Chain A
């Protein structure tokens, strides 16, 4: 029994320690619990608890998005719990039901699987917890279960990229590096193709999957250079992809012959523009997505009507305005 006792002591010590550490930065224990006890009463204007579940937090885009949410909610006197689904849709489902059963005032979800969220949405609806989807849409059939979707205007981001390319090379022979499992990327390519129709001399030689990562793009690009000798432009689906393209072209000594356009606006992308390796990136504003999503949630809780589909601005970054965007962060 002595050993059993020891087990008890050490496990309880761990659990006492954990809140102490976490208490330093976000003091979770007090605010939410006091709101909990009178959850029957009408919504308190302040001091509410909100939840967020992101498909991953291992990407600066989502960390920024979370910051945007948190800042806006805290300015209103509310709190936010952010959970990391680690690209695991079952974990996301469990995380969401934990938040729902904790009676949070509202939840922000960035879905792992845009077709797999229905069970959670129904559960939230039963408990009358409003849900706002951020960054990527859910199935159209599920849209009635949510307050709204707040995401970058990805179609426009694609259009901006096509127009930027047309300005320097209206007869571009280009390849597209795609991530076709992702709805945001599907929209970007659709926007690109739409804008391309105004430039009949532009031609897409090939569309290839490149995983949306730097490592994914490098070998794909190397093969494409070999296959299409007249290739002179690339539309990469995001900044990491574009960086892989740059590295492949650089090692083939062809960087000066090819114009690269992309979507994202990360700091690494902007630096590549300044170095003259990347032509343009259609910047997204994750902090703004977070801020707007939080505003929509607060408006919804006040009973104000909210647009179903909220598009957040995107902006073209080229060598001309790269400097100011680098300073912004």
Chain B
């Protein structure tokens, strides 16, 4: 029940924001606009789900934006090289696995480096952000790589609709949310994550396999970035080596607005989902209300500050 109570202010903020923008933009609450909102937040939400785990253990992953680009370019490169102009489910799976595989390599490395050495995660992932970005730029001389129109399955990941209504990215986002929420709140692994973030020393002495848990956490975060990269790439009809810059920061913003403590040990997946929704509503609402772009930055910055300040006060 305590968890539910923590979510009340976030839910209330969402309702108030929706109503405010409804006053401002009459068509704001139409089903179409709301459905579009869920589609727009999907990439950021998926990144934020992974980031929540990392922040819960007291870490950070700055590489997710670059990972979005690297997974996108790797997948499209393999897809084009393997299947050419034709469509083949086996080749598509291979290309997707290649993309997720490269994310897994980075994630595992982050986990091992964070758990086994005393290098701060901030620095580890800062370095691999540069490495991943560089790798992405190796493809096609740093130019965007278009996806052939024939690849309708891959294009459906970002642009398709389930039953002609629900966008596929939203289906993926919600499934991953359920999966991550179950993992964090209903399994022993989830308990270990909280224990590790709460007090590392204590976790070690109670016999929690901290190395394994930490590797798993960073691996999951990179894989989430991989999935987000697939959606992003499909939505743009091309893989863009330079894309995904600053994505890590919007993801972190969603996590902290959602009430996860930046020092670790406290936070929920549901909170992160609500945090991403709040940021999404702000983006969309300010855009549609015609607020000058310079003010949009200021408002978003202020909202993040206020949300985190109130959260910190509540939990003091």
Point out residues on A near B: beta carbons under 8 Å.
1, 3-4, 6-8, 10-12, 14-16, 18-19, 21-22, 25-26, 28-29, 32-33, 36-37, 49, 57, 79, 81-84, 86-90, 93-95, 97-99, 101-103, 113-116, 118-119, 139, 181
- The answer to whether B292 and A22 touch across the interface, beta carbons within 8 angstroms, is yes
Q: Cα distance A276–B9 when bound, in Å?
A: 64
**A94: contacting residue among B33, B143, B283, B302, CB under 8 A:** B283
Instruction: State whether B291 touches A7 (Cβ < 8 A).
Output: no
B236 touches A8 (CB 8 A): no
B291: contacting residue among A1, A6, A16, A22, CB under 8 A: A22
Candidates A93, A95, A102; contact of B27 at CB < 8 Å: A102
- Count of chain B residues near A, Cβ 8 A: 53
**Residue positions of B touching A, CB distance < 8 A:** 8-9, 12-13, 16-17, 20-21, 24-27, 30, 32-33, 36, 40, 43, 142-144, 146, 158-159, 232, 235-238, 240, 242-243, 245-246, 283-284, 286-293, 295, 299, 302-303, 306-307, 310, 313-314
> Are B143 and A181 within 8 A (Cβ)?
yes
Known: A18-B299, A21-B295, A181-B142. 7 other contacts (CB 8 A): A3-B310, A7-B307, A12-B20, A33-B25, A83-B287, A89-B243, A116-B236
Q: B293's contact among A11, A82, A113, by CB below 8 Å, is which?
A: A82
Give the residues in chain B near A81, CB-CB below 8 Å.
287, 290
Kindly state the separation between the CA atoms of A88 and B250 in the bound complex, as whole angstroms: 12
Q: Are A12 and B246 in contact (CB under 8 A)?
A: no
Cβ A14 vs Cβ B25 within 8 A: no
Chain A interface mostly: helix
For B158, the chain A residues whose CB sits under 8 A away are: 119
- 10 pairs, CB–CB < 8 Å, chain A vs chain B: A7-B310, A8-B12, A14-B302, A15-B16, A25-B292, A81-B290, A87-B245, A88-B246, A101-B27, A113-B236
Task: Check if A99 sits within 8 Å of B310, measured CB to CB.
Answer: no
The reply to whether A139 and B146 form a contact with Cβ atoms under 8 Å apart is: yes
Partner of B236, one of A16, A18, A119: A119
Q: Are B291 and A19 in contact (CB under 8 A)?
A: yes
- Contact between chains at B236 and A29 (CB < 8 Å): no
Q: How far is the CA of A116 from the CA of B238 in the complex (A)?
A: 6
Is B291 touching A97 in the complex (CB atoms < 8 A)?
A: no
Given the interface pairs A98-B284, A98-B288, A139-B146, the reply to whether A7 lies near B306 with Cβ below 8 Å is: yes
Q: Which residues of the other chain, A, contact B40 by a CB distance below 8 angstroms?
A: 94, 97
Q: How far is the CB of B25 from chain A (nearest CB, A)?
A: 7
Instruction: For B24, give its contact among A14, A29, A37, A103 (CB under 8 Å).
Output: A29
In the complex, are the beta carbons of B27 and A22 less than 8 A apart? no
A101 to B21, CA, bound (A): 14
Query: For B33, what are the chain A residues with a Cβ–Cβ distance below 8 Å?
Result: 101
B291 contacts A101, C-beta separation under 8 Å = no
Residue of B with least CB distance to A142: B237
Across-interface contacts of B8 in A (CB, < 8 A): 1, 4
**Given the complex of chains A and B, what is the CA–CA distance between A29 and B43 in angstroms?**
30
On chain A, the residues within 8 Å of B306 by CB distance are: 7, 10-11, 14
Give Cα distance in the complex from A249 to B293, angstroms.
39
Which residue of chain B lies nearest to A16 when distances are taken between CB atoms in the complex?
B20
**Partner of A4 from B12, B26, B144 at Cβ < 8 Å:** B12
Task: Select which of B288, B295, B310 is within 8 A of A22 by beta carbon.
Answer: B295
A90 touches B235 (CB 8 A): yes
Using CB atoms, name the residue of chain B closest to A10. Answer: B306
Complex Cα gap A138–B158 (Å): 21
Shortest distance in angstroms between B155's beta carbon and chain A's nearest beta carbon? 9
A37 B307 Cβ-Cβ under 8 A:
no
Chain A residues lying within 8 Å of B12, measured Cβ to Cβ, are: 4, 7-8
A102:B292 contact, CB within 8 angstroms = no
> A225–B159 Cα gap in the complex (Å)?
50
Does B9 lie within 8 Å of A57, measured CB to CB? no
The complex places the Cα of A243 from the Cα of B289 at a distance, in Å, of 40
- Complex Cα spacing A206 to B30, Å: 57
The answer to whether B299 and A3 touch across the interface, beta carbons within 8 angstroms, is: no
B261 to chain A, nearest CB (A): 16
Q: Knowing A21-B295, A89-B236, say if A7 contacts B13 (CB, 8 Å).
A: yes
Given contacts A101-B27, A102-B25, are A14 and B303 in contact (CB under 8 A)? yes
A115 to B236 CA separation, bound complex (whole angstroms): 8
Cα A89 to Cα B243 in complex, Å, equals 7
Which residue of the partner chain A has the closest CB to B14? A11
* A161–B295 alpha-carbon span in the complex (Å): 40
With both chains docked as a complex, state the minimum distance between the C-beta of B4 and any C-beta of chain A, in angstroms.
Answer: 12
Let me know if B286 and A18 touch, CB within 8 A: yes
Residues of B within 8 A of A181 (CB): 142-143
Residues of A within 8 A of B242 (CB): 87
Chain A positions within 8 Å of B313 at CB level: 3
Which residue of A21, A36, A114 is within 8 Å of B26 (Cβ)?
A36
Contact status of A14 and B299, CB under 8 A, knowing A7-B310, A116-B236, A116-B240: yes
List B contacts of A49 (CB < 8 A).
290
Most chain A C-beta atoms within 10 Å of own C-beta, residue among B8, B236, B243: B236
A115 and B146 form a contact (CB under 8 A)? yes
Tell me which residues across on chain A come within 8 A of B245, comparing CB atoms. Answer: 87-88
Q: Which residue of chain A has its CB nearest to the CB of B295?
A: A22
Q: Nearest chain B CB to A99's CB is how many angstroms away?
A: 7
Q: Are B240 and A89 in contact (CB under 8 A)?
A: yes
Beta-carbon nearest neighbor of A29 in chain B: B24
Give Cα distance in the complex from A22 to B291, angstroms. 6
Residues on A with beta carbons closer than 8 Å to the beta carbon of B293: 57, 82-84
Contact yes or no, A19 B289, CB < 8 A = yes
CB neighbours (8 Å) of A16 from chain B are 20
